[in-house]
Structure 1
């Protein structure tokens, strides 16, 4: 096997129509925490050839604000972008090409669905059992739409899954909130420095 030196997903970039509204949704719905602003609204907008080439966006597109958030536990960050520009398309649906949803692990699916709906998400259908190789008595999922139209999946799989009996590798399940630690790195402070 080739050593790619890839450790996992660092963050997920999400373009939203309004940075503050999206931040409030993620804080209320998922318990996200604002880490820092990469581009504060009062310091923007940022545009021109550099932005157009770096991000592959149409000419005339400007970054208005960019913010990094963290979800509870050890999962990837969420980097929110707000743009102004000549062309903006609606979010991809699962049937479209490209990254189609973000899945968030939860210990209490029903409570997380309620939190997301209370924060402004739309539940697409009630919670469903995970099928086939992911099945287990308490293993379930639900799909929702965020207020800006992106697809969000909530998933829980506390019970063993059939695929685990024969696989040589396991999926990474986020650690219990508060129980995780930074990856081994002598130059990085421990979890209390978050």
Structure 2
């Protein structure tokens, strides 16, 4: 590995697979104020499938991508949402290896929680304090299950993060949205 190789700018998008793209879109819109950027694959398009698609995307044999949509919620990475016909495992939980939750920074955590639950999410607890370095005044966090099982974290840290002396970077916090 050479040290002069280009580095990434940051996370562009996060992909999630859902059982029903329209229901998931409504949940994300109602619960998080998300907006549709575009449909990469509609129900009017030929589905993506076959050996080449399976190899390119690491899909199991016989999997078919029916629909694909890019969704934006606030600032930061977009969500690329897929509806795929294939055998499915349950959504990852926090103890599972790999990606296990999406975290959204919010200014009004209780109001945001109420909105997400009204949209069909299931709160796993009440709002609680954050962990070390995120435990400044006014902080809070809560995990919510989306209807298809993905864990969504709502987090607020109005006092900012604290950092140990050996910290090499500061955590990115989305700017306020209007």
TM-score bucket of the superposed structures, by smaller chain: over 0.9
- Could you say what the CA RMSD is over the residues aligned between the two structures, in angstroms? 1.6
SS at match of 1:9: coil
**Counterparts of 2:68 and 2:131, CA distance in 1:** 37
Comparing 25-34 with 43-52, which one deviates more in the overlay? 43-52
The Cα shift of 1:46 comes to 1.7
CA-CA distance at 1:133 after TM superposition: 2.0
TM-score normalised by L of structure 1:
0.85
Does residue 98 in structure 1 map to residue 109 in structure 2? no
TM-score if structure 2 supplies the norm length? 0.93
The Cα offsets for residues 110-169 of structure 1, whole Å up to 9 and x where unpaired, read as: 111001000000000000111222111201100010000011101110113332676352
Spell out the pairing of 1:1-194 with structure 2 (5 A cutoff).
4-72=6-74, 74-85=75-86, 87-163=87-163, 167-178=167-178
- Structure (1 or 2) with the greater helix fraction: 1
Q: How many residues align?
A: 176
| Gapped regions of structure 2 (runs ≥ 5) | none
Query: What secondary structure sits across from 1:128 in the alignment?
Result: coil
Aligned-residue offset at 1:51: 1.3
Q: Give the 3 Å change call, closer, same or farther, for CA 168–59 of structure 1 in structure 2.
A: closer
Distance 2:5 2:137 in 1: 36
